[in-house]
Amino acid sequence: MSTFGEDLIRSLNEALAHAKGKGPAVPHTPAAPREVRKREKPTSHRPAGTRPMKMPGTSPGMTEGGGE
């Protein structure tokens, strides 16, 4: 079986064990977004999710509203 197939089966078994309340749990400490941004030093000043994107079926000069 391929590595992908083995990984997929293992991950599904882990998910099933988790759903049943069994198996190891890995606790994570919550991270404050401000601290993560300070540590990672993003290269863009624009917040994530606000980047312009091309809408399917539009030409480069068109806006989301369909204008020119």
CA 33 to CA 39: how far, in whole Å?
10
pLDDT block averages, 10 residues each, the chain of length 68: 88 90 79 84 64 64 52
Query: What is residue 59's predicted lDDT score, i.e. its pLDDT?
Result: 62
Query: What is residue 51's predicted lDDT score, i.e. its pLDDT?
Result: 60
- Tokens 């601290």, located at residue: 35
Tokens in use for 2?
């391929």
CA 36 to CA 22: how far, in whole Å?
31
Single pTM value for the model: 0.35
Query: What is residue 45's predicted lDDT score, i.e. its pLDDT?
Result: 64
Residue type at position 66: G
